[in-house]
Amino acid sequence: MSWTGTRAVGGARWSGFAFLLLLLGLCLLATTALGQTPKAFPPAPRTAWAPIGCRTPDAGGSPLASRATWRSLHSDEVNTDEVGVAYAPSFVADWVAEPNTWNPTGPVFDDAGNLYFVPLFPYEPVVLISLDPVTGARRWSIPRTTPAPVGSGSPLVLDDPDNPGEQIIYVGLYDRALAVRQDGSIVWDVATGLPGGPAGVFGVNHHPGADAIVGLAGNGWIYALDRRTGAPILTAPFQLPGTVSPPGIPLAAPPAVQACASAELATLADTGGRPIQEIVDVLLGNGVEVANYFSIAPNTGRLWVAATAPDGDDGAVDGVSQLGALYGIDLVPSGPLWTVTEACRRPFAGGSASTPALRRDGSRVYVGDNVGNLIAIDDACNDIWSLPVGGQITGSIGVASDNGEVYASTATTIHQVIDAGATASIAWSADLDVFDLGAGQVIFNQNLAGIGANGIAFQAGAGILLGTTRLTITTGMGILDRLTGKVRHFAGGLDETVAVMSSGPDGALYIGNSPIRRPFTKCLADLGFLPGVAVPDLVGGIRKWTPTRLDLLLRDVGCAGADRARNARRQRKVCADSVADDQVQLAQLAAQGRGAAGAALASGDITAAEKTRVDRWLDRVQRKQSLGRIPSGPFRGMCRYFARTRP
């Protein structure tokens, strides 16, 4: 996630120094902090980006539903933040569903595009909500049945092992885990067996060897349940060897501002009277062992967890760990059950600020440390290379299947890093100049990078920066060109998220609204520290950015397919497993194109004759693939037609 980390917040720390600057500078800034208008961008031409050479293939055998959409907290079991479809190259902020919820993790999707999410501290006693992708209306919800507070872990969507073409949604809380069908019927609902608690669980993952659903709690406990039955498969729950991180620096904001911010947040989350300091501590990873999600390598089943190091590793046995560690954890067969063992460990000074992200084949782990380095680590916890990126990395790294591309987000930009094997370099750093600002204001990078077949999704915010404190006023969503890092499209729309950039199978973008900076900004304005400045009310729920100009989406689908098919033809005798994955993605793009064509006809973006042409191209794609051939021709025809007829 973009705000969490082991004692890190990606540039959003509140310090006494920063707030002193705030008090001294706001009177000057208030006279010029007039507004933030999203810039208008012309319709984006087709991107010149294309895959080159052999991609990193999937390890194979995963029951994860297709990578055509977002299936877990960071898209998949290895946390790549990548999907196989094209993002809509033009979109607008649309509906907000369930606006009275606070969602620090994002929604996930089934093949039909239905949304599933777990709000944090909801006033309504629910543990899972499903939404319609078109209207945002609630399809169904699963109620809370135990007194334990609800966690906020993203669900995990896997293919149903007994019903081909259907999916099951898995939710793991501290005391309870459940498996639910797409219609809301429960497959199993079991106790996790964890002692003590409760603690937060950011989400569950799938272990291929045990065919198990694995959960990791903020206090370091791990549980694993049989995917089909929910029965525990470990001889006993396992706890990581770390201890809690330090409590962190208290917020330096005046008591009145903190009280106001607490009240603002309480309009969206049932915080039980907790001061906002406690919520910020949770997001920062203060006083916990684990503050992030985790990965599982599909080829080896190794769990990769960023947590705290054992007490004493920092030189003092005092019940607090000043160090973080990346753990490689294995599940080992023990009769009919499994035990847990630590395979390797890589310590970090100050901890790791990011969820471990893996290559698709599990051969390499990427993390960000607390001093602005992106680090690649092998499967034995040895460093391969380290690259300074000029700022604290926020949240998880995006790992593309193609061209060695890795995406690192900081408070100000998104870097495209090229992993060349033994070394790495920054290819571009995005210029997020997407707002017309009043004097004294700046633009922030508000989220992680989402990787699509035709671009990189991002969220930007505008507001005031004092020290390392970001005072966000407004936000919006955009797409970057993968080749250049230039902005292709941007659309305004509240609110901020501390989660991820989720995307549906149609190329639409969604976020879980979880404002945590804006409560402070709004309270400063409401209490008179920002005279003349109006800060919009907080917005909760799930926000959708709906595709527009669906003719341009059809162009991008066709061109992404053409570029991938052309490269696959070149590599078919070099890397068969890579080409097999290309064929899977080409089928995903074709399915997206069929859906987009129908919607484009209904919206008037294409004519009936053009719809017929698209259908014929995609029919040819299907026929060629059924014969084991790479369908370059029909995608090329679709790309050329829409690139020629649409500006």
The pLDDT tens digits for 506-554 are 999 999 999 999 999 999 999 998 887 889 999 999 999 999 999 999 9
Say if residues 83 and 449 touch (Cβ distance below 8 Å).
no
pLDDT at 12 over 50: no
Domain boundaries, the chain: 16-548, 551-645
pLDDT at 28 over 80: no
pLDDT at 44 over 70: yes
- Would you give the end-to-end CA distance of the chain in angstroms? 36
pLDDT at 470 over 90: no
d(CA 368, CA 409): 10
Nearest to 446, CA basis, from 324, 527, 543: 543
Average pLDDT of the chain, as a whole number: 91
What residues contact 456, with CB distance under 8 A and at least 6 apart? 398, 407, 414, 416, 430, 449, 450, 479, 480, 481, 482, 485
Residues recorded for the chain = 647
The pLDDT tens digits for 142-169 are 998 877 666 668 999 999 999 999 999 9
Q: What is the pLDDT of residue 425?
A: 98
431-449 per-residue burial string, b: 16 or more CB within 10 A, e: under 16: ebebbebbebbbbbbbbbb
44-58 per-residue burial string, b: 16 or more CB within 10 A, e: under 16: bebbebbbeebbbbb
Proportion of the chain above pLDDT 70, given as a percent: 92
- Work out the average pLDDT over 245-255: 86
Cβ-based neighbour number of residue 450 at 10 Å: 27
Q: What is the pLDDT of residue 439?
A: 81
- Work out the average pLDDT over 560-566: 98
> Sheet harboring 414-419: ordered strands across?
398-399, 405-409, 414-419, 424-429
Q: What is the pLDDT of residue 182?
A: 98
Tokens read off for 152? 């906020």
- pLDDT classification of 14: cutoffs 50, 70, 90: very low
Considering the entire predicted model, what is its pTM?
0.95
- pLDDT classification of 21: cutoffs 50, 70, 90: very low
Residue with tokens 């109620």: 143
Q: 97 pairs with which residues across the strands?
A: 542
Q: What is the pLDDT of residue 5?
A: 41
Choose which CATH entry (2.130.10.10, 3.30.70.920, 2.60.40.10, 1.10.10.10) describes domain 16-548.
2.130.10.10
- Work out the average pLDDT over 471-483: 96
Q: What is the pLDDT of residue 33?
A: 44
Distance of alpha carbon 408 from the chain centroid = 12
Give yes or no for a cis peptide into 495 (omega within 30° of 0). yes
287-296 per-residue burial string, b: 16 or more CB within 10 A, e: under 16: bbbbbbbbbb
d(CA 295, CA 307): 13
- Work out the average pLDDT over 463-477: 88
- Work out the average pLDDT over 273-299: 88
d(CA 303, CA 323): 20
d(CA 52, CA 50): 6
Q: 387 pairs with which residues across the strands?
A: 374
Q: How many helices (H) and strands (E) does the chain have?
A: 8, 35
pLDDT at 6 over 50: no
pLDDT at 302 over 60: yes
Q: What is the pLDDT of residue 351?
A: 62
Q: What is the pLDDT of residue 32?
A: 45
Of 347-356, 445-454, 528-537, the least confident: 347-356
Q: What is the pLDDT of residue 8?
A: 34
The pLDDT tens digits for 354-374 are 799 999 999 999 998 878 899
d(CA 354, CA 81): 13
Q: What is the pLDDT of residue 148?
A: 63
- pLDDT classification of 34: cutoffs 50, 70, 90: low
Q: How far is CA 540 from CA 69, 134, 151, 495, 516, in A?
A: 23, 19, 17, 7, 11
Of 242-251, 267-276, 511-520, the least confident: 242-251
- Work out the average pLDDT over 309-322: 91
- Work out the average pLDDT over 462-478: 89
